[in-house]
C-alpha cells in the first residue's frame, strides 16, 4: 500500500477504531535505531498483539468478536519514521513490512491486512496475496508455487526453549561468527542438524538444501567489490536466542557470475539492495537452528524494484530471476508498477 499522503491516510482509516475492536491493542515497538545515511530517520520493530473483544469496523467490513475471543499476534514488522529537519514533525512513516512469515497468527501478513486476517475477517486475497500464492495449485506441478499460510502452519519454525537461553553477549558473538563464516557455508558445524532457512518466498530449507543452494551462489566472485554492510545486531525481546541484524548489500557485476547452474557474463550493472532485516536463532549449545533473510524494510530504496535476496540481485543486474517476479506481487502491486513505473 502507498505511498499515501496525509489526507489519503485519514480518508482510508475513517471509521477505524482499534480501541473498540481490540481494546488491549499493543504494537510493542522496540529496537529503535538511527538510520546510517539519513540523520532524520529512525527505524524500529513492532510486534502487534491484541485480543478481539469488540466489533472491529473497517470500510464495509465488520468483524464481530467470537467466544472465546481471538488473540491476534502479528509477525515482527519493520517500521521507520522520518522527521522534518526544521519543525521536527513526522514527515514520513513506513510500516507493514513483515520480517518472518512463520511468526504470529496472521498468515504472514503485516499491518491492518494482518490484523483482519488474524481476527478471521480477511480482505480479498487478490489484495493481500501474491499471484504465486493464489495460483499455487496450478503452479505447484511446475515448481513455481509460493508457500501458503496453511503450509507454514503445518511446518512451524524451529525455536529455542527457555531452558536453552543464552546471555546476550554470547548470542551477539555467535551471530558475528556465523556472518563471518558466510552464514555457515565456510563452517557447516555452526548449523544444527535440524537447521532451517526461511525467506519471504524461499523455504523452509533444511541444512543440506540451504548449504547447497547458498554455496552455489558465487556472488562475491561475480561482484568483487561486494559489501554486505551488516549492522544493527539486536537480541530479540520476544524469541529466545534470536538475533536480528540489518544488511544493505551493494556491488558491481564486473566478473562472471554463477547463480547455481546459471552463469552470466559481466554486465557492469550495480546492485544496490534496500535494507533487509535477517535473523538467526541458536540452541543452547550455540548452534544455529533457524535463519531468516531477504525481508525488505523499504521497497522504494535501492534498485531492485522492492525485491530482496537473489530476486533483488537479479533484478538490479537485469538478469532473469529464478521465477517470474510477477508471481511475487499482488495484482494491485503489479498494476501499480505497470502504471507508475514504481515498485
**Tell me, what's the pLDDT at 2?**
72
Confidence (pLDDT) at 312: 98
pTM of the entire structure? 0.93
Indicate whether 146 belongs to any domain. no
**Residue 66 domain boundaries:** 9-123
Among positive and negative, which fits the CA dihedral 121, 127, 130, 135? positive
Same domain, 193 and 103: no
Domain boundary among 64, 96, 123: 123
Q: What is the pLDDT of residue 341?
A: 61
Banded model confidence at residue 326, pLDDT cuts 50, 70, 90: very high
**pLDDT at 69 exceeding the cut of 90:** yes
306 within a domain of the structure (yes/no): yes
CATH number at 58 reads 3.10.450
Q: Which residue has the cell 540489518?
A: 246
**Statement to judge: residues 89 and 20 lie in one domain:** yes
Does residue 234 form part of some domain? yes
At 138, is the pLDDT very low, low, confident or very high (cuts 50, 70, 90)? Answer: very high
Q: Are residues 333 and 193 in the same domain?
A: yes
Residue 238 placed within a domain: yes
Residues 196 and 314 in one domain: yes
On whether both 303 and 191 belong to a single domain, the answer is yes
pLDDT beyond 90 at 250: yes
Q: Do 79 and 187 belong to one domain?
A: no
Q: How many structural domains is the chain composed of?
A: 2
Task: Calculate what percentage of the chain has a pLDDT beyond 90.
Answer: 84
The domain that holds 309 is classified in CATH as 3.10.450.50
Q: Which of 94, 123, 152 is the last residue of a domain?
A: 123
Cα(310)–Cα(249) distance, integer angstroms: 11
Specify if 128 maps to a domain. Answer: no
- The answer as to whether 150 is a domain residue is no
Instruction: Please tell me the predicted confidence (pLDDT) of residue 72.
Output: 97
- In angstroms, the CA 295 to CA 96 distance is 12
Of the three residues 100, 123, 146, the one that is the final residue of a domain is: 123
Same-domain status, 179 and 64:
no
R_g of the chain, CA atoms, integer Å = 20
The reply to whether 160 falls in a domain is: no
Residue 143 falls within a domain, yes or no?
A: no
Amino acid at each position: 500500500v502507498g505511498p499515501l499522503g496525509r489526507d489519503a491516510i485519514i480518508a482510508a482509516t475513517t471509521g477505524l477504531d482499534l480501541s473498540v475492536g481490540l481494546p488491549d491493542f499493543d504494537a510493542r515497538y522496540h529496537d529503535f535505531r538511527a538510520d546510517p545515511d539519513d540523520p532524520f530517520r529512525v527505524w524500529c520493530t513492532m510486534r502487534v498483539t491484541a485480543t478481539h473483544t469488540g466489533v472491529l469496523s473497517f470500510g464495509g467490513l465488520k468483524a464481530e468478536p467470537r467466544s472465546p475471543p481471538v488473540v491476534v499476534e502479528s509477525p515482527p514488522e519493520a517500521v521507520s519514521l522520518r522527521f522534518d529537519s526544521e519543525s521536527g514533525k513526522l514527515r514520513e512513516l513506513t510500516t507493514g513490512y513483515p520480517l518472518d512469515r512463520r511468526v504470529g497468527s496472521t498468515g504472514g501478513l503485516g499491518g491492518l491486512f494482518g490484523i483482519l486476517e488474524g481476527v478471521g475477517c480477511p480482505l480479498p486475497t487478490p489484495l493481500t496475496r501474491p499471484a504465486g500464492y493464489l495460483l499455487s495449485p496450478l503452479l505447484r506441478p511446475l515448481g513455481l508455487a509460493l508457500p501458503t499460510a496453511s503450509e507454514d502452519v503445518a511446518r512451524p519454525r524451529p525455536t529455542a526453549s527457555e531452558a536453552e537461553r543464552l546471555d546476550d553477549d554470547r548470542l551477539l558473538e555467535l551471530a558475528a561468527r556465523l556472518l563471518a563464516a558466510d552464514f555457515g557455508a565456510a563452517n557447516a558445524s555452526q548449523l544444527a542438524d535440524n537447521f532451517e532457512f526461511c525467506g519471504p518466498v524461499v523455504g523452509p530449507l533444511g541444512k543440506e538444501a540451504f548449504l547447497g543452494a547458498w554455496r552455489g551462489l558465487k556472488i562475491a566472485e561475480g561482484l568483487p567489490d561486494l559489501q554486505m554492510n551488516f549492522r544493527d545486531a539486536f537480541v530479540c525481546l520476544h524469541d529466545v536466542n534470536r538475533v536480528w541484524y540489518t544488511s544493505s548489500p551493494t556491488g558491481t557485476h564486473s566478473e562472471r557470475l554463477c547463480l547455481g547452474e546459471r552463469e552470466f557474463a559481466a554486465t557492469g550493472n550495480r546492485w544496490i539492495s534496500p535494507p533487509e532485516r535477517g535473523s538467526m536463532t541458536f540452541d543452547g549449545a550455540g548452534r544455529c537452528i533457524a535463519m531468516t533473510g531477504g525481508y525488505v524494510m523499504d521497497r522504494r530504496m535501492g534498485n531492485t524494484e522492492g525485491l530482496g535476496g537473489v530476486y533483488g540481485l537479479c533484478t538490479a543486474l537485469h538478469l532473469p530471476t529464478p521465477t517470474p517476479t510477477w508471481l511475487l506481487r499482488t495484482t494491485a502491486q503489479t498494476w501499480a508498477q505497470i502504471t507508475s513505473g514504481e515498485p
